[in-house]
A and B are shown apart, each in its own frame.
Chain A
Amino acid sequence: MKSASDTGISVVRSAAVKVAGVSKTYSVRAGDDVVALDRVDLDVAPGSFVAVVGPSGCGKSTLLSLLAGLIPLTTGRLTIDGEDVHRPHPKAGVVFQSDLLLDWRSVLDNVLLPVEIKKLDRKAYVARAQDLLAQVGLQGFDDKFPYELSGGMRQRVAICRALIQEPGLLLMDEPFGALDALTREQMIMDLQTMWLRLRNTVLFITHGIDEAVFLADRVIVMSPRPGRVDLDLTIDIPRPRNWSSVHENANFQHYVRQVREIFEAKGVLVTH
C-alpha cells in the first residue's frame, strides 16, 4: 500500500497487520535463551478488533512490543499496511498497561504529546484533542494535571493521547489491568462505543477472557513457553454489545467456555 503522507486530520484509514512466522528469543545469558514467541502467524484485517488473550508469560506483551516497533524480532516478518516494522510505525498508537501520563503536563498537553514529538502544528490538533476528551467524558479537564484525576480518568487521557493522530492501528497492552472492577467495566463499554465510531484496527492484549470476548471480532488464544497461538476464535455477537446482558447470551458463554477449556487443557487453569 502506498504510504501517502496523511499528516492532516483525516478520516481514519484503518491499517492491516500481518504477522508471519514471527519468533522472539531473549538471550538472558550466553547460551541461556528464552523463547518468548514461537513462529506466530496472525493476519488482522483492516478495521477489525482483535483481542489476544493468554496467561502471563505467553508472549502477548512481547507481540505488542514487536508491533509497536519497540523491540527487534528474531525471525519472521511483521508488517503494518505492507511496510516492515523496524521502528515505531507512524500509523500505530499505543495504550500501555499503566497510563504513563507526564505529571508535569496538563491533560491537554499530555494528549498533544505525540503531535509535539512528530513536530506537527499543535494548534491544528487542539480542537481534536478537546473533542476526544469530551468523548470520554472529560470535557473541561484540559488544564487539570494528572494528580487531580482518578485512575480511570488517567487511563482515558492515555487513550485520547493514543488516538490524537487517528492511528490506523491501535495497540492496547492490558489497558484496564490496573483499574478496579467497576471502572474497568465502564471503560470496556466506553471503548466499544468509541471504536464503533472510529472503526480503526485494534489489537487488544488482555488476560481477561470475558473482556476479550465482549470487545473483539476475533479472539486469539495464546499459551505460554514458548508463546504460541492455540485458538483463533471468531466472535459472532451483534454490536453494540451490552456488558450486563451479554453474560446471559448463550453464544457469549459458549465462547468463554471454549477459551477456558484451552487454558484448562494447557494447565493454565487447574480445576479441582
Chain B
Amino acid sequence: MKLLRMSPADGDVLLAEGDPELAEDEQRLIEEFRRQLDLGMWAAVPAEGAAGRREATLVRDFSEVPRGAESVIFFPQAAGGRA
C-alpha cells in the first residue's frame, strides 16, 4: 500500500509504502495516516466499482481503509472559494 499526498510543489509525493499485513509496516502506515489527518488533510481510497467505473471513498481512520487497497491519497480539505 502506498500513501500519497498531493502537493503544490511536486504534484504528488510518496509518504510511506508498506504491507499492512506486516505489523511493523502497518504501524508505520497508521502513524503517517494519522499525521496527515492531523495536518488537516482528507484521505481518499480509490477503487473500481461496477462495470469498471472509477470510484473513491473518503476515510477518517486507517481502520476504514479496505484490506487490499493499493493506495490512499491525501489532499488538503476543501474550502469555499471566491463568493
A is bound by B:
no
Q: What is B's interface to A at a CB cutoff of 8 Å?
A: none
